[in-house]
Structure 1
Amino acid sequence: MMPRNACTPGLMTLLRVGGIFSPDRLEATDILMAGGKIIALGSDLDVPGGWPIHVEEARHLIAVPAFIDQHVHVTGGGGEGGCGTRCPEISAQEIASMGIGTVVGVLGTDGISRSPADLLAKVRGLGAEGICAYMYTGAYRVPPPTLTGDIQRDLAWIPEVIGLGEIAISDHRSSQPRQDEIERIVSDTRVGAMLAGKRGICHFHIGDGKRGLEPLRRLLTETEIPADQVIPTHVNRRRELLEEAADYALTFNASVDVTAFEDAGDGLSSFDAVSRLLELGVPPARITLSSDCNGSLPEFDAEGAYLGMKVARNTTLIADWQRLVHEGVLPLETALGLISTNVARVLGLHASKGRLAVGFDADVALLDSELQPQQTFVSGKSVFKTIKR
């Protein structure tokens, strides 16, 4: 992580790169940033002498929208095997080094030793270190823990709260919510978000249970809730679940979130899952990728007894995404949607994030020829840069 005082940049920053993908390929090679926004795109931009500007020469790199990870256990997940199995917090360096500029923090199984207040404090801490960070209110269980005692108030009064999650269904660790309880919390989230001017998605953890996506199918069939209000994640944890997720996406014109599991076990890697969803006809715009990083990867026996766990990392997210491009599954312009443009739309951040365009947030990742992140800008400030020796 580059110290924030490593250099004294001007009030403006001019990036000169080898190419710009917005995600579509642009003719421009220069990005002018000021006030946290992109204020100009072009080639060989001429800046008057004497202007307070820092020029960053990176002609050997390409610029893309900084990635957005919508499922991060920023305070650490785990705990299924006791207090000694709590996962560690994630650092700003771990986030930015992968080209990620925006994260959404989640609580998981453990909503007891960790709370929405802990999550909010961590999210604000990451913000102080230069990462754009949001959070979901709630955790696995229903009724969900909140900051103010009410889902709608959390959305209305806490700027960092952009939705509800991760609510667990079809999982032995969930609170086994009834259908009417699911409908109530989703409708509460929707109305609270409307009052706050937010999208207010409900981020659903889908477990190994035989019910799969049935509770969400019923929700969209039996109520007036629109499909873009709910996002099922971990849909690649079982092959059968992924097939169901494809049908769900096509039936309801809905989005599904694939998790970049480090060890997919009985499921599919995010590379294989995206490839299969595309084979089944799911449009790329309806697929997103997330890391689940710093969450636990627990192993249970057939009776549900805890056997052990690993800690998820976000390195798999970027590696599998790179593989999708390198092996020709998707062109770079389309693949960028999986971790930028599509995610921004799903979260309701599409007016300011997910694209490199004038007026958008100056969140930029610079990638080398292998698509490996070399520098990350958030709101126009460099928060990560590799050190060349």
Structure 2
Amino acid sequence: MRPAEPQENRLLTLLRVGRIYAPEPLEANDILFADGRIAALGRDLEIPAGWPVRVVEARHLTAVPAFIDQHVHVTGGGGEGGCGTRCPEITAYEIASMGIGTVVGVLGTDSISRSPADLLAKVRGLRAEGISAFMYTGAYRVPPPTLTGDLQRDLAWIPEVIGLGELAISDHRSSQPRQDEVERIVSDTRVGAMLAGKLGICHFHLGDGKRGLEPLRRLLSETEIPAEQVIPTHVNRHRDLLEEAADYALTFDANVDVTAFDDADEDDLSGFGAVSRLLRRGVPVERITMSSDCNGSLPEFDDRGAYIGMRVAGNTTLIADWQRLVREEVLPLEQALGLISGNVARVLGLHASKGRLAIGFDADVTLLDSELQPQQTFVAGKCVYDASRTERSPP
């Protein structure tokens, strides 16, 4: 007689949970994974005897789509104060422990000591560790650094590249791109993405400069580029910019990304406060996303723009701000999930496989406890984080 196959090696996984939000609440309480995708949803599913199924009993937990963080310095950001101020790389454990199943890697100010090739290698490394990872080509500067020497080729030939970012505008660290340069870069990204069957988002870093969102307003007003092609991030950097972001979103039916700043000086500029403010201004929740800027630098500059200090951003604030939106009843759970899951999948062009719990979608699932704290994270049907375990990396 052959010995029983170990649970972790079985081909199918059956999650038995207390509740499922897909993001809307479902009557089902079981989820069956097969070949990295969701094969079935139901109540008390019965599996035929002899099937190679691993059963995960989690009746005390709630299943939701695994979170998506569209702005992560996976290779580390920083460097504004010299080589000694480069931020560290993020680990797969740090990602998965916050319920995040998918990340998009970015380069920031420093695209000299860190390159798109470094970023691609890190993205592929995270994938090998079980995280769903993508990247933007480019960085703060213009012309954008690329892998192949051409934006369109990067998008067409590199599967992990899903857009351009983070291109800096209205910031003293940017290349101060002219309007025609912004338009050409976005156009090239759009065409390259079309050739690859991708959305090709252009992810714009917003600084605290006086021009604010004006370059993007002009882009959408003066060209044929659709609003879905661009997403401004860090729109809660200061109050005037947040107000401008609300008007921008309403005027162009456009998406805006709020950063869960670790160092928000005022509560109304935190991720929680900024989302609350945008909602009060009438911006539809479907047009708002949240990201962490994780492992990026939080530099401080004096009035003359000279560097005076820095901290490293984490991703715990993203989850804490999101939890607070639900706990304080700013949004019900099913709508709040969009901010870090479904809405993000849509703006990135990943909505055909991520951001929902539905048959045929990627088996990316986060299990939350009654305090909305992630306890287990599954990516492509494999458990990459379990709070009950002690190891510091996915199995």
* TM-score, normalised relative to structure 2: 0.96
Deviations 1:147-175 (A, max 9, x none): 00000000000000000000000000000
CA displacement at 1:9 relative to structure 2: 3.3
- Whether the 8 Å CA contact 1:203–1:230 is kept in 2: the answer is yes
Aligned to 1:324: 325
CA–CA distance in 2 between the matches of 1:251 and 1:143? 29
Aligned to 2:122: 122
- Whether the 8 Å CA contact 2:168–2:207 is kept in 1: the answer is yes
Counterpart amino acid of residue 272 in structure 1: G
CA displacement at 1:304 relative to structure 2: 0.3
Deviations 1:119-178 (A, max 9, x none): 000000000000000000000001000000000000000000000000000000000000
CA displacement at 1:62 relative to structure 2: 0.2
Counterpart amino acid of residue 214 in structure 1: E
CA–CA distance in 2 between the matches of 1:8 and 1:265? 46
CA displacement at 1:264 relative to structure 2: 1.1
Aligned to 2:216: 216
Alignment of 1:171 onto 2:171: yes
SS at match of 2:8: coil
Gaps of 5+ in 1: 1-5
Change (3 A) 1:109 1:388: closer
SS at match of 1:26: coil
CA displacement at 1:388 relative to structure 2: 6.7
Aligned to 1:253: 253
1:277-292 map, 5 Å = 277-292=278-293
Deviations 1:241-262 (A, max 9, x none): 0000000000000000000001
CA–CA distance in 2 between the matches of 1:265 and 1:139? 26
Aligned to 2:140: 140
Aligned to 2:186: 186
Number of matched pairs: 384
- Whether the 8 Å CA contact 1:73–1:293 is kept in 2: the answer is yes
Deviations 1:243-287 (A, max 9, x none): 000000000000000000011136700000000000000000000
Deviations 1:218-255 (A, max 9, x none): 00000000000000000000000000000000000000
CA–CA distance in 2 between the matches of 1:388 and 1:165? 36
Aligned to 2:77: 77
- Whether the 8 Å CA contact 2:137–2:151 is kept in 1: the answer is yes
- Whether the 8 Å CA contact 1:17–1:62 is kept in 2: the answer is yes
Aligned to 1:109: 109
- Whether the 8 Å CA contact 2:7–2:53 is kept in 1: the answer is no
Gaps of 5+ in 2: 1-5, 391-395
Aligned to 1:3: none
SS at match of 1:117: helix
The worse-fitting range, judged by mean Cα deviation, of 7-16 and 242-251 is: 7-16
Deviations 1:202-225 (A, max 9, x none): 000000000000000000000000
CA displacement at 1:322 relative to structure 2: 0.1
CA–CA distance in 1 between the matches of 2:60 and 2:229? 41
- Whether the 8 Å CA contact 1:65–1:340 is kept in 2: the answer is yes
Change (3 A) 1:7 1:39: closer
CA–CA distance in 2 between the matches of 1:278 and 1:303? 35
CA displacement at 1:387 relative to structure 2: 1.5
Identity of aligned residues (%): 82
Aligned to 2:235: 235
CA–CA distance in 2 between the matches of 1:388 and 1:36? 22
CA–CA distance in 1 between the matches of 2:81 and 2:263? 19
CA–CA distance in 2 between the matches of 1:7 and 1:377? 15
Counterpart amino acid of residue 193 in structure 2: A
CA displacement at 1:381 relative to structure 2: 0.2
- Whether the 8 Å CA contact 1:32–1:41 is kept in 2: the answer is yes
Change (3 A) 1:388 1:168: closer
- Whether the 8 Å CA contact 2:34–2:381 is kept in 1: the answer is yes
Deviations 1:15-62 (A, max 9, x none): 000000000000000000010000000011010010001000000000
Alignment of 1:244 onto 2:247: no
SS at match of 2:242: helix
CA–CA distance in 1 between the matches of 2:45 and 2:387? 26
Aligned to 2:375: 374
CA displacement at 1:8 relative to structure 2: 2.5
CA–CA distance in 1 between the matches of 2:8 and 2:44? 23
CA–CA distance in 2 between the matches of 1:209 and 1:84? 27
Counterpart amino acid of residue 121 in structure 2: A
Aligned to 1:311: 312
* TM-score, normalised relative to structure 1: 0.98
Aligned to 2:199: 199
Counterpart amino acid of residue 379 in structure 2: V
CA–CA distance in 1 between the matches of 2:84 and 2:383? 36
- Whether the 8 Å CA contact 2:7–2:54 is kept in 1: the answer is no
SS at match of 2:261: coil
- Whether the 8 Å CA contact 1:9–1:53 is kept in 2: the answer is no
Deviations 1:294-351 (A, max 9, x none): 0000000111010101000000000000000000000000000000000000000000
CA–CA distance in 1 between the matches of 2:181 and 2:78? 25
CA–CA distance in 1 between the matches of 2:278 and 2:340? 16
Query: What RMSD, in angstroms, separates the aligned Cα atoms of the two structures?
Result: 1.0
SS at match of 1:8: helix
SS at match of 1:56: strand
Counterpart amino acid of residue 306 in structure 1: Y
CA–CA distance in 2 between the matches of 1:104 and 1:84? 25
CA–CA distance in 2 between the matches of 1:9 and 1:379? 14
